Amino acid sequence: MDYDWSAVDSAFRDEVREFLEAKLTPELRRAGRLATSVYPDHAASMQWQRILHERGWAAPAWPVEFGGCEWSLTQHYIFNRESTLAGAPALSPMGIKMVAHAIIAYGTAEQQAFYLPRILTGEVFFCQGYSEPEAGSDLASLTMAAVEDGDDLVCTGSKIWTTHATEANWIFCLVRTSRAGKKQQGITFLLIDMTTPGIEIRPLVMTSGEQVQNQVFFDNVRVPKSNVLGRIDDGWTVAKYLLVHERGGAMAPFLQAMAREIAVEAAEQTGPDGNSLIDDPAFAARLAEARIRTEVLEILEYRTISAMSRGQNPGPASSMLKILATELSQKLTELALSAAGPRGRVYQPHATKPGGPIAEFTPPADDYRSGEAWQAVAPLRYFNDRAGSIYAGSNEIQRNILAKAALGL
């Protein structure tokens, strides 16, 4: 396989770079650089989405008739890579990168006409209602009930780990409409207006102090059957389709940028003996191994793109990439915390751009910050990244998928 970009792709890369240079303001770059998790500052993310929408690049992976771009898979990768390297804040994946694809594939013409343009503009902002207190990786065990009553489904139950539920005005949920047959049967995919009476949101405080995740309670919430995506009792089909999009993406460029930043900072931080951290053979070896792994991950992503460009299904490759990317990210956040040194132990979220409010924290009156901004980011990223091997299907589950699909076990 040829790893060099074609002339067309090189020209496209240059076009993307010019756009980023012109439109990515210092404030937006700062929001991307100081993000403490995969979810950046909400206001910055929405501002960047509006800029991308003006250019027609907010949802390039959508079909052209719905506002997407006629890009090759390689060009999609180039756009993601260049945006990451330039420090652009990420867009929330719940709408554009996840439920929108399910609406395109399974929605009615009326649903597509209502939701898709509003997702692009940000007027409709989705959160995801999948996990429950007793149904996480074993998602098919969900129990949130939806009982038919005339033209409505009456929903009762709760969802947990719901990212940005306080910012969202819509939620896509998996609900239990029947208990007959296997547990994967009798599940319905439902779109729910978050302003509907009977919905209560309780923020969850993460180890980083951020309130990005929430638990959402539903008490006899009436939802029109017209909000069902696909067919009643067949929501598992829609959910499986959506999960492919949740686990996809180009992680290597982000991890490469993180590894380079760690190398630079480790070289500049000197101890009492005058030596920098990068001079420590043990640290240098760990960082070198991690940087090599980011290059390997990128090659694997290239191979997946190449297969998909030939019309092949990536199959278990998405599980493999998810495992490698999240575990490598955890390793890099550990190295970043080491490079941050003693000042990385100071809790100063006001020096970062977190993805949500910080619980029970009052910044200093004089806005004092210890050390550099990246040293303030390091511990929060470290804490947030502990969840990387759990969300989007735990890595243990992904290994089971690989064992079955790739090894035949």
Q: pLDDT for 357-380, tens place per residue? A: 999 889 999 999 988 888 999 999
8 A C-beta contact, residue 229 and residue 103: yes
Band (248; pLDDT cuts 50, 70, 90): low
Q: Is the pLDDT of residue 37 over 70?
A: yes
For residues 83-108, give the mean pLDDT. 93
Strands (E), 207-363: 214-224, 228-229
| Structure tokens that stand for 184 in this block | 């994967």
Q: Provide the 8-state DSSP code for 18.
A: H
| Structure tokens that stand for 364 in this block | 């200093």
Distance between CA atoms of 304 and 386, rounded to whole angstroms?
26
Share of the chain above pLDDT 90, in %: 63
8 A C-beta contact, residue 79 and residue 94: no
Alpha helices in 56-123 (DSSP H): 73-86, 93, 100-106, 109-121
Cα dist from 134 to 50, 139, 140, 199, 210, whole Å? 38, 9, 10, 20, 23
Q: Is the pLDDT of residue 266 over 60?
A: yes
Distance between CA atoms of 274 and 243, rounded to whole angstroms?
50
Q: Is the pLDDT of residue 250 over 80?
A: no
Share of the chain above pLDDT 70, in %: 95
Cα dist from 18 to 5, 14, 33, 83, 241, whole Å? 18, 6, 19, 11, 35
Long-range contacts: 298-303, Cβ < 8 Å, 24+?
298/252, 298/253, 298/256, 299/3, 300/324, 301/77, 301/250, 301/251, 301/252, 302/1, 302/3, 302/77, 303/1
Distance between CA atoms of 385 and 327, rounded to whole angstroms?
9
pLDDT tens sequence across 1-34: 556 788 999 999 999 999 999 999 999 999 999 9
Distance between CA atoms of 325 and 321, rounded to whole angstroms?
6
Band (186; pLDDT cuts 50, 70, 90): very high
CA angle, 261 as apex, 367 and 9 as ends, to 5°?
120
Distance between CA atoms of 116 and 322, rounded to whole angstroms?
27
Q: Which helix (H) or strand (E) holds 174?
A: strand 170-176
| Structure tokens that stand for 127 in this block | 């959160």
Domains parsed from the chain with CATH numbers:
7-91 (no CATH), 126-235 (2.40.110.10), 247-405 (1.20.140.10)
